[in-house]
Amino acid sequence: QWDVLTAGGIVTIIPVCIMFFFAQKRLVEGLTAGAVKG
C-alpha cells in the first residue's frame, strides 16, 4: 500500500516544512548571535 504510505508521509512533512520556512530567519539570527557572543 505505497499510495497510503506516501500520502501519510507527505501530510506529515508539509507542516514541518512550513514551520521551518517561517522560523528559518529567527533560527539563523539566533545561531549567529550565539556564535558571536561565545
**For residues 28 and 19, what is the distance between their CA atoms, to the nearest angstrom?**
14
What is the per-residue pLDDT for 35? 72
What is the per-residue pLDDT for 37? 60
Mean pLDDT by 10 residues, the chain (38 residues): 94 93 84 71
Question: Model-level pTM?
Answer: 0.52
Please report, for residues 9, 17, 18, the alpha-carbon distance to residue 27 in angstroms, rounded to integers and kept in the order given: 25, 14, 14
35: which 3 cell numbers? 556564535
* Helix/strand/coil for 1: coil
What is the per-residue pLDDT for 11? 96
